[in-house]
Amino acid sequence: MSETIHGLTTAEVTLLGEKAIAAKSLAYCPYSNFRVGCALLCEDGSYVLGANIENASYPVTVCAERTAFSRAIVEGKRESGGFKAVGVSTDISPPASPCGMCRQFIREFCDLKTPIFMWDSKGEYAVMTLEQLLPMSFGPDQLHKPDPNKGK
Ligand SMILES: O=c1ccn([C@H]2C[C@H](O)[C@@H](CO)O2)c(=O)[nH]1
Ligand SMILES: [Zn+2]
């Protein structure tokens, strides 16, 4: 059996990196000039890209990771099996990691074992699982589901 990295083949990791790096060119970041690209490898084998989208009202900015996941969710990628890996790319070294808000956003849609690959300006990556980046996390399973018989 060939070697895998968090369940991905080396070819899948290479392609994920190429997509995440290419996605940086989609960034709209005139205020920070800090480009972030994101590529999601979906369980159906497709890739969904995202990039950071800034706003003149700075806090309105959306990170690359949330852009990618929002796009993927409305494209039906949750129903078609979800996500195998997340790739993020920035122009700094060592690589940047997803911000806290994005970690929680990813938590909604991914298994805790999902690998998050982070590429730096040199084309090298670090990888950590979602659980490592967001320990003791709060997620959908902790919420009580509404009782369908309530009020009957
Ligand atoms: O996880 C992160 C952290 C930051 N940014 C963006 C937001 C903003 O446009 C720029 C500087 O914070 O980087 C992301 O896209 N993802
Ligand atoms: Zn973020």
Q: Is 12 a catalytic residue?
A: no
pLDDT at 21 over 70: yes
Q: Write the CB contacts of 48 (distance below 8 Å, at least 6 apart in sequence).
A: 39, 40, 42, 68, 71, 72, 75, 77
- 118 C-beta closer than 6 A to ligand 1: no
User: Does 110 belong to an annotated binding site?
Assistant: no
CATH fold group of domain 10-134: Cytidine Deaminase; domain 2 (3.40.140)
- 23 C-beta closer than 6 A to ligand 1: no
What are 132-141's pLDDT values in tens digits?
A: 999 999 999 9
Point out the least confidently predicted range of 1-5, 16-20, 45-49, 103-107. Answer: 1-5
- Check residue 1 and give its pLDDT: 55
SS3 37: strand
What interface predicted TM-score (ipTM) does this complex get?
A: 0.98
To 10 degrees, what angle do helices 100-107 and 64-74 make? 20
d(CA 134, CA 70): 20
